[in-house]
Structure 1
Amino acid sequence: MRKCNSVMVAFMLVCSLALAGCGTNNGSTSGASNAAAEANGAASNTTATDGASSAEASGPLTINQALPDKEILSKGPDGESAVSAKTLQLTEEELKKIKSGNYTAAISMHYAGNDWSKAQLNGLRDTFAKMNIKIVATTDANFKAETQVANIETILAKKPHILVSIPVDAVSTASVFKKAADEGVKLVFMDNKASGLQAGKDYISVVSADNYGNGVEAAHILAKAIGEEGEVGVIYHDADFFVTKQRTEAFEKTIKDEYPNIKIVDRGGIVGPNDGEKVAAAMLTKHPKMNGMFVVWDVPAEGALAAARSAGRNDLAISTIDLGTNVALDIAKGGMIKGLGAQLPYDQGVAEAILAAYSLLGKEAPAYVAVPSLQVNKENVLASWKTVYHSDAPAAIQDMAK
């Protein structure tokens, strides 16, 4: 993350990085403890014990093979080519070996109070249960690097075989993750790795969405919505974080390469998730002919939607990344948000658990794994919700889609 002179700005950057990878935040930060407790049966910032069920699983264990069969376009944090999560598999024999091993796991989240985090946790918990791996700790750092460091120290005292985590800050948490690796804990990272750690030596793999692919999908959606011509603005994440940079890079390159009659007339950076409305309002004032806007994830896209409404610009087309509740509602009713590229967090959690099992078996694991991108629009929003979250869309979204 970029160095900042202001402590407050640094803190906002940490928070925004976490949100950028995670989709919508349906509650305030102060509600993180309740959200984490609801999702995990644990209080925020404390270590909780989850008992893995003795769920029986027959046959091989794989990622949902009904996911889109697409080339993965993203690169890993060290420039690695991606391997599709759909290629991961435990054979029935391998699964039996894991189930008989009496293994334990822990999960250290940056924040557990949003849809993305809850879906990740559900995927991890369901898959570990199928492996008879007991989850001995689930923690929520509430966006605070120092809290995550303390959480992991507490986790290490429980001596788990596996730790799955997303670093709040790649640099300031690096030493505690290195300590875990040195103690023989099998590390699997979500979205980004701790700084200085090496795949195959210190950690097993990094698992993420195909963020580049989702940026491409967002570009095609917006281009179609404005008839493949006009002026568009880009609201990007003004931080040195490879996940959000890939989204914006993919969107801009796709527009420039494939839609010669669309011009990107302005770019505005956001530091935190609540900056979208301010940046979008300034763009719309400066460019009254602007007919399209890309916003790097769904929460600031909600702000852009509010800015367009305030400006009387109900004709503006918006595309974004991440299928959160509020943007799904707008898509379902045919509003200004025309569609988005969606992450698949439940399946990301499944992939992380399978990769942890690879390490226990001594099975070679790819350094970087990604789940396919998913284009979401008005026609498929309900089906997409079920694909993303492995549950039916909330009643409000279903009603709006009718």
Structure 2
Amino acid sequence: MKRNLALIAATGAVLIAVSGCSSAGSSDSQAAASANPAVQKAEKALADIVSGKVLSKGPHGETAAPASSADMTEEEIAKVKALNATAAIAMHYGGNDWATAQIAGLKSEFGKLGIKVIATTDANFKPDQQVSQLETLATQKPDLIVSIPTDPVATESAYEALAAAGIKLVFMDNVPNGMTAGEDYVSVVSADNYGNGVVSAYEMAKAIGGKGKIGVIFHQADFFVTKQRYQGFKETINQEFPDIEIVEETGIAGPDFAGQAQVSAGAMLTKHPDLTGIWAVWDVPAEGVMAAARAAGNTNLKIATEDLGTNVAIALAKDQLIVGLGAQRPFDQGVTEARLGALSLIGKDLPAYVAVPALPVDHSNVLDAWKQVYHADPPASIVDSYKK
């Protein structure tokens, strides 16, 4: 807990220290931006969010419990180690920085707890593929499965079968329909996705001075946390910034999220030549928006998003196109999921929903944010891109 508070404090110090800085331009333009009431509102809201307050509710309206709810005593750790338990990790999609970090957090913590990971699967966003993978995992009889369901309806029966077999389930982000925390599964862990949507709205408003026409590219799927991001972004823009108009919204279903976002963004830029910015639901679609902007020769487009992937981090470091984002802390989420699963094996009662606070990221703090998100130094490609 002390470490988390230190990280939050460090992030807040960075944001407060650079308050009023614009992404490019002279000191006169920086002063003008800082004097803009909309920019001031956005900067204050971002500084407040750094306090660690969680804005999301759980999939059944639960109030978020902090990650510290999964803290373990030395006695509890010893009990878990004595079990020689096994676990599996069943991802919805593994081909991004977020998934890689979440798996790393899980494996790191499972290793410390003496829990052997016997399988890791990737459904590539295909529910039928995930159902088949879960059926195969059931035959391996792990004590615990940590998983992110691709679809709350299509995967329900498969997860119910695992629960009926006595396998403990901890979910990431999404929960199958009809399943009850404490009975059918242990808990669900996510970032404050609504809060990250709010963060990206304020980053967008700050970048465009609280005025202009923008487009939105959302996730066209029944997926709990990505809907929260969209709601957090859209509600904040509509309620807080009357001079920002959302003129176009497009959903993308994947699995080629970058390619579909590029097509959607290109169409928006053609239809609305005066478009000021585009919001993308996470970093991979944002990469497609960047490609569309470059293809259109629109280097002034402002793009806000969620998740600190490598390519958007490079753009932030260069101060190009990406103006800010709300980052998850996937490594910490993985650690929390592993601990909740471990505690369930020794019979401890646990909260139904645990959320990790949003992390505002812009050009000024992208290098420090990378360390907080991934528990590692940023790669050379990001460091070398940073404007001094």
TM-score, scaled relative to structure 2: 0.83
- Whether 1:317 aligns to 2:299 is no
Deviation at 1:168, TM superposition (A): 2.6
Query: Per the alignment, do residues 360 and 62 of structure 1 end up closer, same or farther by CA in structure 2, a change over 3 Å counting?
Result: farther
CA distance in 1, matches of 2:373, 2:114: 25
CA distance in 2, matches of 1:312, 1:140: 37
Deviation at 1:198, TM superposition (A): 1.2
CA distance in 1, matches of 2:68, 2:5: 6
- Whether 1:357 aligns to 2:342 is yes
In structure 1, the residue matched to 2:316 is 331
3-state SS of paired residue (1:401)? coil
In structure 1, the residue matched to 2:28 is none
Q: Structure 2 counterpart of 1:137, which letter?
A: A
Query: Per the alignment, do residues 268 and 159 of structure 1 end up closer, same or farther by CA in structure 2, a change over 3 Å counting?
Result: closer
Alignment of 1:214-293 (within 5 A): 214-272=196-254, 273=257, 274-293=259-278
* Cα deviation code 1:278-314 (max 9, x no counterpart): 2112222222222122111111211211222222221
Bigger mean CA offset, 303-312 vs 241-250: 303-312
CA distance in 2, matches of 1:172, 1:260: 40
CA contact (8 A) 2:105 2:332 kept: yes
Query: Per the alignment, do residues 176 and 63 of structure 1 end up closer, same or farther by CA in structure 2, a change over 3 Å counting?
Result: farther
* Alignment equivalent of 1:213, drawn from 184, 195, 205: 195
- Whether 1:73 aligns to 2:55 is yes
CA contact (8 A) 1:86 1:371 kept: no
CA distance in 2, matches of 1:313, 1:113: 28
CA contact (8 A) 1:63 1:351 kept: no
CA distance in 1, matches of 2:116, 2:3: 20
In structure 1, the residue matched to 2:114 is 132
CA contact (8 A) 1:62 1:89 kept: no
In structure 1, the residue matched to 2:181 is 199
State how many pairs are aligned. Answer: 342
Q: Could you list the runs of 5+ residues in structure 2 that have no partner in the other structure?
A: 9-50
CA contact (8 A) 1:63 1:88 kept: no
Query: Per the alignment, do residues 239 and 110 of structure 1 end up closer, same or farther by CA in structure 2, a change over 3 Å counting?
Result: closer
Deviation at 1:396, TM superposition (A): 0.9
CA contact (8 A) 2:193 2:225 kept: yes
Comparing both structures, which one devotes a greater share of its residues to helix?
A: 2
3-state SS of paired residue (1:338)? strand
Query: Per the alignment, do residues 306 and 174 of structure 1 end up closer, same or farther by CA in structure 2, a change over 3 Å counting?
Result: same
In structure 2, the residue matched to 1:162 is 144
- Whether 1:399 aligns to 2:375 is no
3-state SS of paired residue (1:255)? helix
Bigger mean CA offset, 303-312 vs 199-208: 303-312
In structure 2, the residue matched to 1:374 is 359
TM-score, scaled relative to structure 1: 0.81
CA distance in 1, matches of 2:140, 2:4: 32
* Cα deviation code 1:137-173 (max 9, x no counterpart): 2223333333333332332223221111112332222
Q: Structure 2 counterpart of 1:312, which letter?
A: G
CA distance in 1, matches of 2:207, 2:86: 49
Q: Structure 2 counterpart of 1:96, which letter?
A: A
CA distance in 2, matches of 1:398, 1:229: 32
CA distance in 2, matches of 1:265, 1:140: 36
- Whether 1:341 aligns to 2:326 is yes
CA contact (8 A) 1:228 1:262 kept: yes
Deviation at 1:65, TM superposition (A): 4.6
Deviation at 1:64, TM superposition (A): 4.4
CA distance in 2, matches of 1:180, 1:335: 47
Alignment of 1:90-101 (within 5 A): 90-101=72-83
Q: What CA RMSD, in Å, does the superposition of the two structures yield over aligned residues?
A: 1.9
In structure 1, the residue matched to 2:284 is 299
* Cα deviation code 1:246-284 (max 9, x no counterpart): 111111111122223222222222222121112112222
CA contact (8 A) 1:334 1:378 kept: yes
Query: Per the alignment, do residues 356 and 344 of structure 1 end up closer, same or farther by CA in structure 2, a change over 3 Å counting?
Result: same
Query: Per the alignment, do residues 97 and 245 of structure 1 end up closer, same or farther by CA in structure 2, a change over 3 Å counting?
Result: same
In structure 2, the residue matched to 1:186 is 168
CA contact (8 A) 1:121 1:346 kept: yes
* % same residue: 57
Q: Could you list the runs of 5+ residues in structure 1 that have no partner in the other structure?
A: 1-60
CA distance in 2, matches of 1:150, 1:337: 38
